[in-house]
Structure 1
Amino acid sequence: MAKHHHDHSEHAGETLVEAARTALTGAGEQWTGMRSDVFEELARHERPASAYDIAENLSKTRGKRVAPNSVYRILDLFVSNNLAMRVESANAYLANSHPGCTHDCIFLVCDECGEATHVDNDDISKAVRGVAQGADFKPERPIIEIRGLCAGCR
């Protein structure tokens, strides 16, 4: 089975922000001050963060209200450009430690602490895409979430 566990510390801090900026501008999008602030705030979270959490923290940092709707639009842009991943069941986001790298989203989500671990498994991704294509459906963004308890909460 082709299983890949990425080292999520591969890009961190300033190198992660720079990799995200490079990926976004390489896709023809602008790296604005607000987009930079949203990405930096998202990247500092170890667990999935909601747009409301990010907006609240940025409002404090910037000294003026940041609307969650603005943050949602930026997060959607980040997801579509593989800078962030959305944990659907939590309506929350994680920074992609490999910005611009495309992987189907397979998450192990802890029901106790909220930790979401991203796992890459090419065999599962191919199988899920194959099932969709067999049903005459074009898969765009497969997302699989497995709920349970992480090692720390068991």
Structure 2
Amino acid sequence: MGSHQHHLHAGEDLKEAAKVQLTEAGEQWTGMREAVFEALSGFDRPASAYDIAEAVSEAQGRRVAANSVYRILDLFVASNLAMRVESANAYVANEHPGCLHDCIFLICDSCGHTTHIDDDQVTGGVRQAASSTGFAPKRPVIEVRGTCGDCS
């Protein structure tokens, strides 16, 4: 099978790994970026830019605009610090930001919990099938909707 293990980060360790990844990519780890990452990684489900803006606004005691959060989230996705759940227009923190893979999301329709798994064999097959038609895939995202173990 094409799956493999990662060193998953959590809490302060995750924030430090994200900071290292972003600065190694030549970007700055600003106070606002840190606040957005802390808010994003604090959610137990995919969070929208509006959810994150609200959490940051509450933590900082001042209003933070969702469009500012969107720009930071775009940077986080491009830097592999976050992944976008396309069908929900929401984001999850990447618990292994130093490792780049195509996304496979398992999304529970009952509770909204989203699990990210890596299987290079599956996503490689998708890339190969797309390439065989002359299509140049940039970033395959596979989303599987159903019911998680806790809800079934």
Flag whether TM exceeds 0.5 (same fold): yes
* 2:77 alignment counterpart: 79
* 1:64 alignment counterpart: 62
Distance in structure 2 (CA, Å) of the matches to 1:13 and 1:3: 24
* 1:94 alignment counterpart: 92
Which of 24, 46, 49 aligns to 1:48? It is 46
Distance in structure 2 (CA, Å) of the matches to 1:32 and 1:118: 27
Code of the aligned partner of 1:109: I
* 1:18 alignment counterpart: 16
Asked if the contact 1:38/1:74 (under 8 Å) is kept, the reply is: yes
If the length of structure 2 is used for normalisation, what is the TM-score?
Answer: 0.96
Distance in structure 1 (CA, Å) of the matches to 2:46 and 2:98: 19
* 2:111 alignment counterpart: 113
Aligned alpha-carbon RMSD (Å): 1.1
* 1:122 alignment counterpart: 120
Q: Deviation of residue 51 (structure 1)?
A: 0.6
If the length of structure 1 is used for normalisation, what is the TM-score?
Answer: 0.95
* 1:27 alignment counterpart: 25
CA 1:79/1:102 → structure 2, altered by over 3 Å: closer, same or farther?
same
Q: Deviation of residue 123 (structure 1)?
A: 0.7
Q: Deviation of residue 99 (structure 1)?
A: 1.1
Q: Deviation of residue 105 (structure 1)?
A: 0.5
Asked if the contact 1:4/1:119 (under 8 Å) is kept, the reply is: no
Q: Deviation of residue 100 (structure 1)?
A: 3.1
* 1:37 alignment counterpart: 35
Structure 1 unaligned runs (5+)? none
Structure 2 unaligned runs (5+)? none
Distance in structure 2 (CA, Å) of the matches to 1:97 and 1:111: 22
Aligned residue-pair number: 152
* 2:3 alignment counterpart: 3
Q: What is the aligned-residue identity percentage? A: 64
Asked if the contact 1:38/1:71 (under 8 Å) is kept, the reply is: yes
Q: Deviation of residue 6 (structure 1)?
A: 4.5
